[in-house]
Amino acid sequence: MIPTGSLIQLVSPKGKRYTMILEEEKELHTHDGLIPLNQVCHMDFGQEVTTHLGRKYLVLKPTLYDLLKNVQRKTQIIYPKDIGYILLKLGIAPGGEVLEAGSGSGSLTMALAWYIGDQGRVHSFERRSEFVELCSRNLERVGLKDRVRFHDRDIEQGFGLTDIPAGFIDVRTPWDYLDQLVAALQNGAPAGFLLPTMNQVEWLLRAMESASCTDMEVLEILVRPYKPVADRLRPQDRMVAHTGYLVFCRIMK
């Protein structure tokens, strides 16, 4: 049986996905009819629940990928394809600590919070309070908010933290905040940046040369999806061709 409080995903016959926390007294209203969630409490993942109109919805345990696809966004977000590499480069693991700016819609925040676990801590900095609220709501919806400390402040004033083992900056002019970042991170800590244009990467690299940064890496990640049809296996007609350039370094004080 799926315990109440679990994250669940219900998938319609047409593939529409609904992600939520399982609460016995809740109901899901869909175009295919109503699903009282107390029915789902008596099931296991991988089974089907029937709406009051007789349509069958698959009950799945959502992965982090599913949650990221569902983030309500009002800013540009970091995509799953980039997030995977960021997590590896920053060494994100259960019980760790990391800082990020800006929070935006909370796509990266969610992934950091997921992997850092309930003994870990994400410090998320954002200067616009509407995005602090949006990020916080997106995290709350999936039960990860308690792992995040939200800092409603401009990182120009510094992070007000020291000895943090990793950091990621996703703001338009990260080169303006390198001194603040260096002050907040441990010696040797990995740091990462996402920038949509090459011009910004140039600015950042120049600033890094005179800041305490070493072991620089610049890359972009392309994912080319294929149509999963065995008899006509070929790429999809469209792909996300560009999200941003990733820059990584180590902080040497």
Ligand X SMILES: C[S@@+](CC[C@H](N)C(=O)[O-])C[C@H]1O[C@@H](n2cnc3c(N)ncnc32)[C@H](O)[C@@H]1O
Residues of this chain that bind ligand X (CB under 6 A): 75-78, 101-102, 104-108, 125-128, 131, 154-156, 170-171
CB nearer to ligand X: pick between 17 and 128: 128
CB of 92 to ligand X, least distance (A): 14
CB nearer to ligand X: pick between 106 and 190: 106
Rounded Cα distance, 132 and 186, in Å:
26
CB of 84 to ligand X, least distance (A): 13
CB of 20 to ligand X, least distance (A): 21
CB of 18 to ligand X, least distance (A): 21
CB nearer to ligand X: pick between 59 and 194: 194
CB nearer to ligand X: pick between 40 and 134: 134
CB of 171 to ligand X, least distance (A): 4
Which amino acid appears at position 135 of this protein?
C
CB of 177 to ligand X, least distance (A): 6
SS3 assignment for the chain: CCCCCCEEEEECCCCCEEEEECCCCCEEEECCEEEEHHHHHHCCCCCEEECCCCCEEEEECCCHHHHHHCCCCCCCCCCHHHHHHHHHHHCCCCCCEEEEECCCCCHHHHHHHHHHCCCCEEEEEECCHHHHHHHHHHHHHCCCHHHEEEEECCHHHCCCCCCECCEEECCCCHHHHHHHHHHHECCCCEEEEEECCHHHHHHHHHHHHHCCEEEEEEECCCCCCEECCHHHCEECCCCCCCCCEEEEEEECC
CB nearer to ligand X: pick between 2 and 185: 185
Residue closest to ligand X (Cβ): 102
Rounded Cα distance, 204 and 198, in Å:
10
CB of 154 to ligand X, least distance (A): 4
Rounded Cα distance, 180 and 200, in Å:
19
CB nearer to ligand X: pick between 57 and 168: 168
Per-residue tokens: 107: 């796509």
CB nearer to ligand X: pick between 20 and 113: 113
